[in-house]
Structures are given as C-alpha cells and as structure tokens.
Amino acid sequence: MRSDVGGRSRWRWAACALLVAASCAVVPAAQAQRPQPAPVRAAAPANSPLWAQLTLGGAGARLTCDICTPQRDVGAMLTAALGAYASPRLRIGMEAQHWTYRDAGVREYVNGIGVVVHYAPRPAGGLHLIGGAGASFYRAGEFRYDAPRVTMGLGYDLPAMGRFVVGNVVTMDVAAFGTLKSEGATVIERVGYSSVRAAVQVRRR
C-alpha cells in the first residue's frame, strides 16, 4: 500500500510540473502573437514649403498716350508663378505672364515678369490679397514698349483635391513713364500701360 501511494504521489507531482511548464510557455507565445501598436509618426505639414500656380483668363489692355486709342483690347492671358511660404498667411514668388490680341491683322503681345505677393488675412480662409512689381514688354509689329509695372488685386480659392485649390483672381497691372518706339526710334514718351485681368486659377499648396 505505501509503495502504491508513493507512486501515485510522484505521478501527481510530475503532472503539476508539466502544467506549470506548459503555462509558462503559452503566456509568452500569446504575448508575441498579440498585435503591437504601430509607431507614432509626426503629422505631415498642412502645406508644402513651396507653391505653384497657373491662371488662365482674359485681360483688357491698353496704352495711354496722346495718340493712343482709349478702348481696351480684350485678349487671352496666361500666367505662371512659383514661390515659397514666408508664413501661413504670406507667400512670395516669381510670376511670368503672357497676353495676346489680334487687331486689324497685327498681333499684339505683352509679356511680363516680376515678384508677386499673396497675403491671406485668415490662413484657413480662401480670400487673399495680391500685390507685386515687375516689368511689362509690349510688342505690335515694329512697335515696342517696355516699362516697370505694379500689380494689385484679389483672389479667392477653394480646396479641390489633396494639396490643390481652385478659384478666381482679379488683378490690375499699371505701368507708366515708358517710351513707345518704332524700329528703335522714339515715337512718343511718357506712355502708360494698364491691363485688367479676370481668370481662373489652379494652385498647389
């Protein structure tokens, strides 16, 4: 009887030891299979440091002088700008523009280049003020006119897709104290130039 009891006791101790060992093995395995939380990543900035913009629309342009016609010639205008953000409210860049119109068989062109500044009173709002300075270059047959200019206007945009926004712009370019020339000879001095533009825009923030 003692020998039988002792044998049963040994078997019970062995079974307990196996259960403890199995539980120790199962707990780490379950912890290893449990999905680990993904590492926390820094949020991407709302805007890229750079911005780019295209506008396409119409502009009424004219030269102002004693012998110039007073009406505006309305032609197509394309502009392209590229710049960087100085702050969430302020972006600065370089802008190039091209305007063209055909009058009585003569093709007129105005090319321009300059610095453009957009200021948004509310960074989250769509309204922004437009200002800038540069130069305009008028060509029509043998006539040419070059003068410094300033730009002022308004723009409004709405989110479109991802970093892109779409909207409208209305601007006015004004130049003065230029000289109208024909084949290198001065025709008239102190000539002014102005254009009023209304266009649609696409901008990448």
pLDDT score of 27: 46
pTM summary value: 0.74
Cα angle at 51 between 84 and 43, to 5 degrees?
90
Local confidence pLDDT in tens for the 205 residues of the chain: 444 444 555 545 555 554 445 455 444 444 545 555 544 333 334 557 999 999 999 999 999 998 888 899 999 999 999 999 999 999 999 999 999 999 888 999 999 999 999 999 988 889 999 999 999 999 999 999 999 999 999 999 999 998 999 999 999 999 988 999 999 899 999 999 999 999 999 999 8
Identify which of 33, 103, 1 has the alpha carbon closest to the alpha carbon of residue 61.
103
Structural contact between residues 138 and 149, judged by C-beta atoms closer than 8 angstroms: no
| Cα distance between residue 163 and residue 139, in whole Å | 37
Which tokens sit at 31?
């912890």
Identify which of 96, 150, 152, 87 has the alpha carbon closest to the alpha carbon of residue 120.
87
